[in-house]
Amino acid sequence: MHFDLAIIGTGSGNSLVTPDFDGKHVAVIEKGLFGGTCLNVGCIPTKMFVYAAEVAESIRGASKYGIDAHLDRVRWRDIRDRVFGRIDPIEAGGRDYRVNGPGTTAYLGTARFTGPRALVVDVDAREEEVTADQIVIATGSTPVVPQAIRDSGVRFYTNEDVMRIDELPRRMTIVGGGYIAAEFAHVFGALGVEITIVTRGPQMLRAQDETVARAFSELAAQQWDVRFGTTVAGASQEGEVILLTLSDGVQLETDLLLVAAGREPLVPEGVSLASVELTQDGRVEVDEFGRTTADGVWSLGDVSSAYQLKHVANHEARVVAHNLTHPEALEEFDHRFVPAAVFTHPQVASVGLTEQQARDVGHDLTVKVQKYGDTAYGWAMEDTTSFVKLIADRRTGDLLGAHLMGPQASSLIQPIVQAMSFGQSAVGLARGQYWIHPAMAEVVENALLGLEFD
């Protein structure tokens, strides 16, 4: 069949079916769960688990506020079923709407390119040929699994299935030191699982500003058994127990192995037949408008973006949706100030340049690290480890980066994101508005006021 538009992937790609395509023929192709990574195995379910973990941590830490409390029991299946009792109906509803609703033809299978704007979709052991005037690749990403673990034959989990386990294990080993590893360590550790982390780097969250990465790694080592500078060299299954051999020769036993070593672009097969080129790191190459190197083929989200973030994929989908039907007035992606957060313990958020990146490009810097504990709300929380780090240009007054570690970091950073996006100076942000006293946001205000300018 021939279509006006064919979309491969139903994460952010699902939002491309706008009113501009009313009366046109649109194919939607999905091999897995409708809604993509974020809805089903990523940001939304994980944050629902994180919230339960935060409740557990609050109970354990209540005594320092003069409240005697104890955690009686963790009802894992109730926690899990609360999450997927909300999410699974949304996935099913999205699938039903595309399969049976108006305006789209759904292909439930795996697509591969066979030529320019030509696809074959494997559906129920048969092949369906699809061509289209325009095609959008929105296939997302897939977990990276180290070869030593893949070849070992042991049962391992990733973010795509670990949240649906029936029982909590006594011990869990997590391979990886990035945001996925940090978030799951928080979730399962807070719910009572003994956590060991095996990470090849000298620190966790290495992509963060050095101040954050160092501070978080120190706190992580206090919460969990973190094996820095190591990898899994081999693994074997002995009954219900997994025996891991690490690169330093140490052997350790675990009851569940979670691989959280990052995600890589899930590129459809045959893209070269369609003249779609890839970047050196394996992503689909796109320009500032979302166009690939092939005429009429577009891409967005994790499969092509340098940012594996849902809010970036949503932004790119809005841009591509416009550009598909307005070739005379193309819009560009805006990747200037992309914020990100890690919902671990403590929470981490960042936007803009790290201090080292800012120095490398030649800025004359002013830097301020403001502790939560030096503000009134920080006193109320008895906080001793959280901080806001701001980086600005000493001459221009422009904010260059913000890096937060502590409660509600993902929300506290938003005024900084807004100021950077709209060109507001650090002084203008600090003095151009009221800051509620003694709210937690005062830590951002004080950090701004601590910057020194010429």
pLDDT tens figures, 105-126? 999 999 999 999 999 999 988 9
> What is the average pLDDT across 147-171?
97
| pLDDT of 145 over the 90 cut | yes
Are 451 and 426 contacting, i.e. CB atoms less than 8 angstroms apart? yes
**Which pLDDT does position 354 carry in this prediction?**
98
Hey, which bits of 30-165 come out as E strands? 104-107, 110-115, 118-123, 126-137, 141-143
CA 102 to chain centre: 32
| pLDDT of 411 over the 90 cut | yes
Same fold: 2-142+264-325 with 147-261? yes
Residue 4: which H helix or E strand, with range?
strand 2-8
pLDDT in tens, 21-67: 999 999 999 999 999 999 999 999 999 999 999 999 999 999 999 99
Average pLDDT over all residues of the chain? 97
The 10 Å Cβ neighbour count of residue 126 is 8
pLDDT band at 161 (very low <50, low <70, confident <90, very high): very high
Q: Could you tell me the fold of the domain covering 346-449?
A: Enolase-like; domain 1 (3.30.390)
Task: Give the whole-angstrom CA distance, residue 17 versus residue 120.
Answer: 21
Residue 315 annotated to the active site = no
Task: Give the whole-angstrom CA distance, residue 6 versus residue 2.
Answer: 9
Across 182-207, b (16+ Cβ under 10 Å) vs e yields bbbbbbbbbbebebbbbbbbebbbee
Are 390 and 406 contacting, i.e. CB atoms less than 8 angstroms apart? no
End-to-end, the C-alpha distance of the chain in Å comes to 65
Integer-rounded Cα Rg, in Å, for the chain is 24
**Which pLDDT does position 142 carry in this prediction?**
97
Task: Give the whole-angstrom CA distance, residue 438 versus residue 375.
Answer: 8
Structure tokens at 245: 């051999």
Q: Which CATH superfamily is domain 2-142+264-325 in?
A: FAD/NAD(P)-binding domain (3.50.50.60)
pLDDT in tens, 284-319: 999 999 999 999 999 999 999 999 999 999 999 999
The 10 Å Cβ neighbour count of residue 19 is 8
**Which pLDDT does position 89 carry in this prediction?**
98
Structure tokens at 129: 């040929």
| pLDDT of 237 over the 90 cut | yes
- Catalytic site residue from 2, 326, 335, 437: 437
Q: Where are the domains of the chain?
A: 2-142+264-325, 147-261, 346-449
To the nearest whole percent, how much of the chain has pLDDT over 90? 99
User: Which of 3.50.50.60, 3.40.50.2300, 3.30.70.1280, 3.30.540.10 is the CATH number of 147-261?
Assistant: 3.50.50.60
**Which pLDDT does position 110 carry in this prediction?**
97
pLDDT in tens, 7-23: 999 999 999 999 999 99
**Which pLDDT does position 124 carry in this prediction?**
87
Q: Residue 230, SS3?
A: coil
**Which pLDDT does position 125 carry in this prediction?**
86
| Crossing angle between the packed helical segments 210-223 and 179-190, to the nearest 10 degrees | 30
Are 351 and 339 contacting, i.e. CB atoms less than 8 angstroms apart? yes
| pLDDT of 189 over the 90 cut | yes
